[in-house]
Amino acid sequence: MMGGLVLLHRWLGVAFCLLFAMWFATGIIMHFVPFPSLTEAERFAGLAPVDSAGVTIDPPTAIRASGIEDAARVRLIQRTDGPVYVVSGPAQLRAIRASDATDAAVKSPDIALATARDHARRRGMDISRASVVELADYDQWSVPNGFDRHRPLFRVALNDAADTAVYVSSVTGEIVLDTTRSERWWNLAGSVLHWIYPTMLRSNWSLWDRVVWTLSLLALIAAVLGAVLGSARIRIQRGTAVSPYHGWHALHHVIGLTATVFVLTWIFSGWLSMDHGRLFSRGQLTDAEANAAASLPAWNRLPSTDWESISPSAREIEWFAFNGDRYRRDRIGLERQTLFRTGDPGADHRSGFLNLREVQALTDRLASGCGFPAILAADDSYMASSTMPGAPVYRSVCGDVWYDIDGASGNILQRLDSSRRAYRWLYSALHTLDFPILVIHPRVRSALIVGLCACGLLFAITGIVIGWRRVSYSVLGKVVRKDARKV
């Protein structure tokens, strides 16, 4: 039995020692350089004020023109070619011109270039040498599933000092991503390697999911076997635990035992990052809850002149359904908006955000026994953030299930049942060390992450040396035996 475990650990170690080293080294980089994205601050900074003079149709007309019967949200934004409604449904997204209700999908590279230039100019970037590079479904930086409804994407190179690339949705004409040379290089050495993210593999999500999940599981088995065998090999001499090995084997044994807890929890939590609903819930609404939450409003009851009262300083206007009512929010600034319920006689409610009673009315429809919602604290262990910086997030506790709702947009940010709460600790806390006590001391957390990953890297290097020697010995032994038979 023990011999079989030794053999399995040995050859799994040979197969995965390089992968272990890569994961530990790239984990350090990822802690400091995240995968490229367009932050809300960057997106909003690139928006132009909406020119209401160019708006001649109302949101219900735009919804009818889009053909999206289950539309729950409509946004009005300003593009270089005029104001556009962006109509969103659960599975569809379409842009409709606010002037004549025609399709506003971006088919011309010239419009994509003008859109990217205007966005970049508003953010203070150099646009003098900007040019469209390609229209493509995927490249290395646009593989995440969040871009699926916007594909294909126009990639516009600004050719500025930072070598910035801006990505324009061909569906809505919005800027959805930007990257710089520095981000790309650091992520080639970090996230792309760590997540095994080559474009050809990652563009097929289901294949990538199965491949990385399987590799992570095999790596976890190798680590568990190492911990079992390493503990069993300890010898006690004169009251002191010693390793029976010498040289690189002894170093591998000692470092492995010293870092056993970290290596096991880190590899285990890394494997859980690929869970995707296999063992734990995904934090999404059930079908019954989704049906209750998706009580669509009668858009045709929206006042046809609603858009005429838009503030001239608003950069984005959104109409959305919440608990069967219709709301409109005017985004005036990154951290400032006006929100009011529309369409009902006397419903002139105006404020910055949804209030507690409005949130409770929705959660009472989702589940029974819900307590009165509370605003989420900034240091909450199960943190959720609004899409709008500084906006409140409300939590309704309904027995075992918690609902976190964005007070700015009405979006249900996460559904936390006991399974999802356990996942938060077993994955996020163990893998990124975002324990509350460490989050409030970021320098200590960073030092721990770097130190532990460096220890793991050294451990993996000892495995690489031992594995190389084992493979070399095996290959050389076969050659010697083959030559001996010839003699």
Could you write out the DSSP letters of every residue in 271-338? Answer: HHTT-TTSSS--S---HHHHHHHT----GGGS-TTGGGG--TT-SEEEEEEETTEEEEEEEEETTEEE
Rounded alpha-carbon distances, angstroms, from residue 93 to 42, 108, 365: 22, 19, 27
Q: How many residues does the chain have?
A: 487
Q: Is 412 exposed, middle or buried (0-12, 13-18, 19+ CB in 10 A)?
A: buried
Identify the pLDDT of residue 475.
66
| C-alpha dihedral (180, 181, 185, 187), degrees to nearest 10 | 10
Say what the alpha-carbon torsion angle 456, 460, 463, 468 is, to the nearest 10 degrees: -170
Listed residue (363, 357, 360) closest to 415, CA to CA = 363
CA atoms of 420 and 402, how far apart (whole Å) = 10
Cis check: omega of the bond before 152, within 30 degrees of 0: yes
Which amino acid is located at 379 in the chain?
D
- Contact between 312 and 52 under an 8 Å Cβ cutoff? The reply is yes
d(CA 119, CA 456): 43
Confidence at residue 103, expressed as pLDDT on a 0 to 100 scale: 97
Between CA 326 and CA 344 the distance in angstroms is: 9
Q: What pLDDT is recorded for position 478?
A: 55
Task: Tell me the average confidence (pLDDT) per consecutive run of 10 residues in the chain, 487 residues long.
Answer: 82 92 97 97 97 91 93 94 95 95 97 98 97 97 96 98 98 98 98 96 96 97 94 82 88 93 96 96 90 72 66 92 87 93 59 91 92 93 93 96 96 96 97 94 97 96 92 63 48
Dihedral (CA of 360, 289, 171, 343) sign: negative
Residue 162, both tokens:
């930072």
Q: What pLDDT is recorded for position 480?
A: 43
Selection from 168, 186, 185 nearest residue 177 by Cα: 168
Helix (H) or strand (E) holding 414: strand 412-416
CA atoms within 13 A on the CB side of 353: 20
Residue with tokens 């957390």: 445
Nearest alpha-carbon partner for 175 in 352, 55, 315, 33: 315
Provide the pLDDT for residue 486: 46
Q: What pairing do the DSSP bridges indicate for beta strands 240-242 and 165-169? A: unpaired
354, with CB counted inside 10 A (0-12, 13-18, 19+), is buried
